[in-house]
Amino acid sequence: MPLSSVEFLLFVALSVIAFRLSPRRGRPHVLLVASYGFYCTWNPQMAGALLGITVVCYYAALYVESSRGRPLAPRITVAVVSGLILYIVAWKARAVLSSGGGIVIPLGVSYYTFRLISYLLDVHWGTVPAERSLVPFAAYVAFFPQMMAGPIERASSFLPQLGAGGTADRGRTFEGVMRILLGFFKKFVVADNLALIVDYGYRHLGSGSSVPSALSFYLYPVQLYADFSGLADIALGVGLLFGLKGPENFDAPFSASSISEYWRRWHMTLTSWLRDYVFMPLRMATRTWGTAGLIVSVVVNMMLIAVWHGFTLGFVAFGAVNATFLVVDVLTSARRQKFWRRHPGLLRAATIVGMIVTYHIVSLSETFFRAPSFADAARLLGGLGAGLHGFGEALAVVTAPPNHYAWIALPAFVLTETADAVRRRRGMGLPAGLPRWARWSAVTCLAGAFVFMALLFLARKSATNPFVYANF
């Protein structure tokens, strides 16, 4: 059941109605049934595997909490966490080794495995109590809106909300619907249209002009961001319809003036997860190594982000590029801060230059992320300096149907970024105490947005690109 489908919207509507009509104590059961029902539409056998490791982790956490201080408790934690790591590594490796042999990776394996690992470690460290009821815990692990691409929510945030039955008031419902509409707008209008141009660039790498390479190089980061953040908006919006507020996953990453800041703003739940469970423990273990320990911690953390996407040479190169610039950024941070304190008048210009440089670093690394092969990535990067031979021909192609409609994506992207900026400052919900005319105006605007989105669903091609991060 693809998220960009009418069937998914109907499924969400029926699930939300059943959830809200249920008594508070029964709502976790409704959510669990809905989540596993959604999962079974993809692969019923993998749903059994998900249930199996959920039950193992549930009882392991109960034992670890009740046996804290005993020698066996940390061994159980290490054994189960190691098993979860091997579980995800085995699936990722099998997908690479199959070479298109029809191997099906469990839906959301990266996301629910990370949830289980963080939960077990938090219980082991005593930062969260072990959940006593299996049903809410299983609903947390399999929560269907976040199954395909996160965010990676912590148990300490999700379970108390579910235990309270979800706060599905009018304001949160309005905000949820608006987030869903914003997410589909990003996907259909921005990401899918930019994909036409980016795909054209990759199909014409040997054209003798730098135009196709430049189009793919500069536009793919925007396409990926619109696609991924749109998927996150849909997931968070659906969660709000159940009265469950999830963590934000993006914070205007293209406004970052350094690569370190970019990664603090991009896929924030993954980077914060790795910071808490990988980077900080590793940094503490290598603190006596001085600068070498810092470098090792940064590189390992970044390479884990890379191979989390998949065990391919392209993803390794993606991680290596980011790791290299992150190390340079971290090692020069103190000197740069000292320089800016001495020359505060240059700070604004430096911020703008930093944003431009950071975008180029991101574009470079994501070339390896997007290219079908390492060789294609090298061809694209080499094509950037091919000159403007054939510029007129290339320009004619990208401005001819259907690509001439694709350029609407750029002003649409500016519109969505503006909407996100407003949302971050003021929210999308209905403020309390609004007069009746204002509430009806908001409802009218929402109805208009629904009609517009329905037209997008009807007008889109049947072969609409799937969400990129649904593959991870």
Segment 9-26, tens digit of pLDDT: 889 989 999 998 899 889
Nearest of 246, 225, 249 to residue 176 by alpha carbon? 246
pTM: 0.89
For the chain, which residues make up each domain, given as ranges?
6-166, 172-466
Distance CA 286, CA 280 (A): 10
Distance CA 197, CA 201 (A): 6
Within 13 A of 322's CA, how many CA atoms are on the CB side? Answer: 30
Question: What is the pLDDT, as a whole number, of residue 52?
Answer: 93
Distance CA 165, CA 152 (A): 21
The catalytic position among 124, 204, 267, 309 is 309
Q: Where are the alpha helices (DSSP H) in 72-203?
A: 72-98, 109-125, 134-142, 155-163, 170-185, 192-203
Highest mean pLDDT: which range of 68-77, 134-143, 172-181, 189-198: 134-143
pLDDT band at 462 (very low <50, low <70, confident <90, very high): very low
pLDDT higher than threshold 90 for residue 459:
no
pLDDT higher than threshold 80 for residue 171:
no
The 10s digit of each residue's pLDDT in 401-425 is 666 677 888 899 999 999 888 888 8
The pair of three-digit structure tokens given for residue 277, joined into one six-digit string: 């469970």
For the question of residue 29 being annotated catalytic, the response is no
Selected residue with higher pLDDT from 455 and 130 = 130
Residue 236: burial class (beta carbons within 10 Å; 0-12, 13-18, 19+): buried
Question: What is the pLDDT, as a whole number, of residue 435?
Answer: 67
Selected residue with higher pLDDT from 6 and 333 = 333
Report, as an integer, the average pLDDT of 421-435.
Answer: 69
Report, as an integer, the average pLDDT of 196-211.
Answer: 79
> How much of the chain, in percent, has pLDDT values that exceed 70?
83
> How much of the chain, in percent, has pLDDT values that exceed 90?
44
**Dmax (CA) of the chain:** 74
